[in-house]
Amino acid sequence: MTKVLVTGGTGYIGSHTVVELLNSGYEVVVIDNLCNSYIKVVDCIEKITGKRPTFYNTDLLDSTALEAIFNTHQDIAAVIHFAAHKAVGESVKKPIDYYKNNVGATVMLVEAMLKHKIEALVFSSSCTVYGEPDTLPVTENMPVKPPVSPYGNTKKICEEVIRDCTKAYSLHAISLRYFNPIGAHPSALIGELPIGSPNNLMPIVTQTAIGKRNKMQIHGGDYTTPDGSCIRDYIHVVDIAKAHVIAVERMLKNKSAAPYEAFNLGTGHGNSVFEVIEAFERTSGVKLNYEVGAKRPGDVMSIYSDTTLANTVLGWKADYDLDEMVISSWAWEKNIQNIYPEL
């Protein structure tokens, strides 16, 4: 069995990817320091797949522990690197934390991979590297813009570090640039469950619907978009997870077109915040208590992907539509209390 190391494997996208890897016959080792996820996720992954990944509660910045894991698992064939802080606002207040945890840890991880001759890396990147795009949809060869936040800058810098390493060393890497991942596994056993208060739209919608919040705000209703709210390319987390398995296979089967490649992961369609709310209210039958508030600083007005490269070169295509995304997010929200009664 081919062994894959997944950093951040108990997080939102990480856990869904571990499920897809196990279902595709891979053996999986997870490293996560549980700073923004729960150990119970490992049990839920086992419930879904019937297989338990090997789990290490380890910080990537702990070089001794990282080295011990690589020594124990000499047969790791590829690494998928998710572990990172991801709150835009927090990154503005704590840039050192973000550069150390996101960039520092990536450098250490790649160094350890090179030492142990592991030559395939999938990096969890983001459409944030495109900033406010000049034209839509966004293609991979569009200029990477000056990032609006330290968080966005860490994604840009990590991509550059990894790309430079693929030029200098025997390393192949694929950066997957996610647009807006939402939704949850159809089992409703794993989903988005950040520790503390979420900043992203979908958990705020479902938390409002279930009564964890009184009211939610639409951040800006007077953008120059058809309905005045921002437009994003929402993409089901299970579709995103499947792309990681394809990316690993691409490198392990020597199918990469170049040592470093980057692909957009989106549906190619933009939806406004009002459209997401409409889809949620219609499919759930729950009326959301919301108001239109001020614009959120740093928000891009409109962004959605051109997925031609991922469709034709990577051989990946999003399957789920917006209704399926919001239905699965709602099923997950309603099940959280059953799995985590302590929360």
What is the binding site for ligand UDP (CB under 6 A)? 180, 199-201, 204, 216-219, 230, 232, 273, 296, 299
In the set 12, 38, 98, 151, the catalytic residue is 151
123 φ, ψ to 5°? -110, 135
What separation in angstroms does the CA of 69 have from each of 75, 181, 340?
11, 30, 29
Rounded Cα–Cα distance for residues 72 and 103 (Å): 25
- Cβ 125 to ligand UDP shortest distance, Å: 13
- Cβ 252 to ligand UDP shortest distance, Å: 31
- Cβ 289 to ligand UDP shortest distance, Å: 12
- Cβ 130 to ligand UDP shortest distance, Å: 11
Beta-bridge mates of residue 56: 31
Rounded Cα–Cα distance for residues 116 and 75 (Å): 9
Identity of the residue, 177 or 232, whose beta carbon is nearer to ligand UDP in the bound complex? 232
Rounded Cα–Cα distance for residues 121 and 104 (Å): 16
| Cβ(305)–Cβ(137) below 8 Å | yes
Identity of the residue, 2 or 199, whose beta carbon is nearer to ligand UDP in the bound complex? 199
Which H/E stretch holds residue 234? strand 234-236
Beta-bridge mates of residue 29: 5, 54
Does residue 150 have a cis peptide bond before it, meaning omega lies within 30 degrees of 0?
no
151 is catalytic: yes
Identity of the residue, 230 or 262, whose beta carbon is nearer to ligand UDP in the bound complex? 230
Identity of the residue, 201 or 245, whose beta carbon is nearer to ligand UDP in the bound complex? 201
34 φ, ψ to 5°? 55, 25
Residue nearest to ligand UDP (CB): 230
Identity of the residue, 3 or 296, whose beta carbon is nearer to ligand UDP in the bound complex? 296
Nearest 5°: the CA angle 55, 58, 60 is 120
Rounded Cα–Cα distance for residues 236 and 279 (Å): 14
- Cβ 273 to ligand UDP shortest distance, Å: 5
Q: What residue type is 2 in one-letter code?
A: T
Torsion sign across C-alpha atoms 329, 330, 331, 337:
positive
- Cβ 239 to ligand UDP shortest distance, Å: 17
Rounded Cα–Cα distance for residues 194 and 201 (Å): 13
| Cβ(281)–Cβ(288) below 8 Å | yes
For the chain, state the CA radius of gyration.
19
- Cβ 201 to ligand UDP shortest distance, Å: 4
Identity of the residue, 54 or 217, whose beta carbon is nearer to ligand UDP in the bound complex? 217
Active site residues: 151
